[in-house]
Chain A
Amino acid sequence: MRLGFFLREAMRSLRRNAMPSFAAMATVLVTMLVLGVFIPIVQATTGAANEVRSRLLLDVYMKTDASAADVSRVRARLANETPHVKKVEFVSKKEAYAQERKRNPEAYQLLGTNPLPDTFRVTPDKASNINQLKSSLDPGGRPVDPAIDTVRNRRDETNKILSATRVVKLTTAMLAALLITASILLISNTIRLSLYARRREVEVMKLVGATDWFIRWPFVIEGVVVGALGGLLAILLLAVGKIALIDPLAADFALIAAPDTVNFGVLIAVLMGLAVTLSAAGSGISLRRFLRV
């Protein structure tokens, strides 16, 4: 009986306060729309940045006269004793020669012999650890194993990529934080305004002996309804946008499809949850000020 009463109360007040309810719904709608567009964009950018970073490698060149024993010793060392190593890939003399010859057949025609050494391509566990990894393999320019000739990363490029992707990630993170803060402020402000208009009503309810929660429940339910409606409309618009704009484009340009973004179903669930929670909690919490009678 209680739940039924609260539901009827919420519906009544939605009907009787159509304009403020509509404004709150529109606020939720716009906020969720912006978030719905922005979340995949943030994900795509950080995804792209991470992808670039994951291509950073360290080349460990063996001496040309290194024996098979030398090679397996160094491989074991890289794989088991060196920190920050994620992956070790071995490119033998022959493989390297074949690769290079394919790329530049005329030059290699002239050479006759194979001048290339055996090489390990080492991927660091995290891109930002690449310099640490290098100095642990040749502290002060002296390789840790006599069979290693040189350890190289393309120094300038590496540092540029590291700092550029760091800026990209930081910027998107800040934008995301800003956007979420703005949405919360916007929604709570709209709710507060519509509650302010009804503070006299709340005052009267308290004076005839209503408890705080008796007054609060209908407001919270109202918030749930408003949030759900706003969220639903936003999701509908997003779906239309996705089907009409993004999907055809993605078919033509690999770029848009490439970075891993959140699955649309998950995005919908997140937005809906966010819309309902923000709106309901916002109503319940904002009401507290007016309950002190």
Chain B
Amino acid sequence: MAERSFRREQPNRPATAPKRPQARGSGNHVIEFRGVSKVYEGGDVGLDQATFAIERGEFVFLVGHTGSGKSTIMRLLIKEADASAGSVRVAGRDLSEIPRKRVPYYRRNIGVVWQDFKLLPNRTVYDNVAYALQVTGRSRREIRQKVPDILRLTGLATKLHNYPDQLSGGEQQRVSIARAFVNHPPLLLCDEPTGNLDPETSIGIMQLLYRINRTGTTVLVATHDHAMVDKMRRRVIELAEGRVVRDEAAGLYTRDETTREFAARMRGAVADPALDPAARGTRHVRERGRTGSN
């Protein structure tokens, strides 16, 4: 899983106009913003001359106060909105070149997780995740095989037939992550994924995102939870009033951490070995039914 191309096979997509993402754009950048501004219809400035780039496989935080432009960046990336100035490139491709009709196909390359989950209320957990596969025209057999797998990975194996309103916030967010990741997109965007969740649940979610990142997926997480960001020790891009005011790879970047070590560190348990067994104990109960926590 070392090298992961942005493009993957799309059964539904006719093999027209072969694109070579790497031919243009610079090197390995999955995301590249160059002098991007976004002015909303009312005149509100969402983004002001933002320039940054994110490499394949990175885990990046986007921080800043409410209204600083984090969601605007997400919106531009999924082409829910178009930039007013500058260029947004994803896998080397300028998003302004994608015609409206191709947008659904483009979006299938990106997993998105929102603060409010955005699950389909009339569908079970299973069907919510299956929908992301049905959209791409996958066969029923493939769906029957993939959906339980991803739900086991996200710790929802026992909740297959529940409806969203029968789940806790943390569980709903796990469903939405499962839906975002079931296609194994090379890029995962999360807009305040823990914004509605308590700290302990949030750590579980971050652990899941970290595990996804370790499979080679580039992950971009918007949040205003500074404590969490400080503990994670990943690259941080800070926004203020639409401008990029800080962009640094955290010094203590520890690349080869297992998910378990990662979670322990997030709970601050490593520093105090006496607390360690207790922390593990509670986690064990919470994570029952989840497998493959490498």
Contact = CB atoms under 8 A, between A and B. Distances in A.
Interface of A is mostly: helix
Nearest to A206: B104
Contact of B107 (A5, A12, A13, A208): A208
A1 B134 CA distance: 11
Contacts of B136: 209
Given A17-B122, A204-B118, A209 B80 contact: no
Contact of A1 (B112, B135, B140, B179): B140
Contact of B139 (A1, A206, A212): A1
Contact of A205 (B105, B106, B135, B140): B135
Nearest to B122: A16
Given A5-B134, A207-B78, A209-B104, A201 B121 contact: yes
B278 interface: no
Interface in A2-36: 2, 5, 12-13, 16-17
Interface string B172-187: 0000000100000000
B132 A208 contact: yes
B6 interface: no
Interface of B is mostly: loop
A255 B105 CA distance: 65
Contact of B104 (A1, A16, A201, A210): A210
Contact of A204 (B78, B119, B134): B119
Interface in B127-183: 131-132, 134-137, 139-140, 179
Given A5-B134, A13-B122, A201-B120, A207 B105 contact: no
Given A17-B122, A204-B118, A293-B80, A211 B134 contact: no
Contacts, number: 50
Contacts of B107: 207-209
B135 A207 contact: no
Contacts of B137: 2
A17 B108 CA distance: 28
Given A16-B122, A17-B122, A205 B131 contact: yes
B139 A209 contact: no
Contacts of A212: 104
Contacts of A264: none
A149 B44 CA distance: 91
A17 to B, nearest CB: 7
B135 A201 contact: no
A2 B140 CA distance: 11
Nearest to A214: B135
Interface in A186-213: 201, 203-212
B132 A209 contact: yes
Nearest to B135: A210
A209 B182 CA distance: 13
Nearest to A204: B118
27 contacts: A1-B140, A2-B137, A5-B134, A12-B123, A16-B122, A201-B120, A201-B121, A201-B122, A203-B118, A204-B119, A205-B131, A205-B135, A207-B80, A207-B118, A208-B107, A208-B112, A208-B131, A208-B132, A208-B179, A209-B105, A209-B106, A209-B108, A209-B132, A209-B135, A210-B104, A211-B135, A214-B104
Interface of A: 1-2, 5, 12-13, 16-17, 201, 203-212, 214, 293
Given A204-B120, A209-B104, A209-B105, 13 more contacts: A12-B122, A12-B123, A16-B122, A17-B122, A204-B118, A205-B120, A205-B135, A207-B78, A208-B108, A209-B136, A211-B104, A211-B105, A293-B80
